[in-house]
Amino acid sequence: MTKKIIAVDLDGTLLNSESKLSDFTKETIKKISAKGHKVIITTGRPYRMALDFYKELELNTPMINFNGSLTHIPEQKWEFEQSLTVDKSFLLDMVQRKEEIEADFIAGEYRKRFYITNTNEEIADPRLFGIDNFKPENQFQAQLVTKNPNAILLQTHATDKYALAEEMNAFYQHELSINTWGGPLNILECGPKGVNKAFALQYLLNILNADRKDLIAFGDEHNDTEMLEFAGTGYAMKNASETLLPYADQQLELTNDQDGVAHKLTELYL
């Protein structure tokens, strides 16, 4: 059997609704890897919020974070690492326009740190950033923004996050990739122009000298559309957003809480 590249989203896909990996999912992924297939975590999460899952699954493959901005092998130097960034001027401008875009918070995301405009934990959930509590060094200050971030994350109280994403894309003249994130949460993520999960997977396939027909992908949200459309076979979860379904080859019969990915991989390869 040809070895497959298996791209898996985390939230709403591989993780259950408690943001955990079930024992069945962990064992299945380990068996799949042992057969020589390459499992690639492909997530909107920053690196620091995906590393523990990578370790739980005992992976040694590349990982894709920030919806495609960062492609790397965790805790290793890798000659093919790709880290793409957004010009910091966009972050500073959004902070100036925070009332206009009805932002609860705006955060500049870097590989190992972030700066957030609102540290009120009743409004901004620290767990979105992989921590229990915000610390003073997390507070956004314009003078701290000396480097370009990998992504800009914002939570809005606008009634339609999809409409806001379109408005912001138009306002910034499509110089950013602005996508929804976080399932039911009103969160937008802004990345480098033209960058998405499919962009990073194409880069990875070139490095691995692999064909997209041997790429399968699993996702549940709007930010998985390009990935599912690009993959040889794209699977939408049973719990997937309606916006994703037209891009999928198949919708699974099981949700993320029913180990949908693990059951499909067992059916296909074990």
- Going along the chain from its start, the domains and CATH numbers come out as 5-83+195-269 (3.40.50.1000), 88-192 (3.30.1240.10)
pLDDT at 183: 58
pLDDT at 125: 87
Q: How far is CA 21 from each of CA 37, 124, 260, rounded to the nearest angstrom? A: 19, 24, 12
pLDDT at 170: 93
State how far Cα 9 lies from the chain centre. 7
The ranges of the chain with pLDDT < 50 are: none
Q: How far is CA 202 from each of CA 117, 172, 209, 267, rounded to the nearest angstrom? A: 34, 26, 10, 26
pLDDT at 182: 54
Name the CA dihedral angle for 177, 70, 31, 241, rounded to a multiple of 10 degrees. -20
CB of 233 closer than 8 Å to CB of 269 = no
pLDDT at 92: 96
pLDDT at 32: 98
DSSP 162-202: HHHHHHHHHHTTT-EEEEEESTTS-EEEEEETT-SHHHHHH
State pTM to two decimals.
Answer: 0.90
pLDDT at 181: 65
